Amino acid sequence: MSRAGSGKSVEVHRVLWILAFTFSFAATNAQGDQFSGPNENVWSNRQCEYIVWYHGKSLSQCKSVCLELSTCTAFNYKDGPNTECVLWACPLPAPSPKSTRSPYKGYSLIPGSLDGQLRQLDQLKTFNAANEANNQQ
């Protein structure tokens, strides 16, 4: 195990945690929530990893379920009598949604929100762990 690489990884994590808590007054949109949207375009499995599809959830419930799942960073939502909520694990910031699937709308976690910052830290930890494993080979 390379001590130099390990030390850099720990230092990066330390700096990012400091930044996350320095900006703990999380970024939100004008409505005060942690999601941007609605977007006319939506995400697909070409852009992000599919998590789960829910029927019968309100927009508020869809946002709450996404925030409860540590990997959820975006979702597609269909309003109306038969609501649908499709959760996605995208990198943060989420790529611009490219698919059109009316009447679905796209919503993504705001990277500067506290949940967005914590998910970015998790993604960085996963990336660093993978790099350390590759360096050990």
User: How does pLDDT run across 49-93, given as a tens digit for each residue?
Assistant: 999 999 999 999 999 999 999 889 999 999 999 999 999 999 888
Which pLDDT score is estimated for 27?
A: 47
Least confident window among 21-35, 57-71, 74-88, 104-118? 21-35
Contacts of 30 (CB under 8 A, 6+ apart): none
Whose tokens are 């006319």? That residue is: 40
23-53 burial: b if 16+ Cβ within 10 Å, else e: eeeeeeeeeebbbbbebebbbeeebbeebee
What pTM did the predictor assign? Answer: 0.66
Contacts of 117 (CB under 8 A, 6+ apart): 19, 20, 23, 26, 111
- Three-state DSSP state, 84: strand
pLDDT at residue 28 tops 80? no
Which pLDDT score is estimated for 115?
A: 65
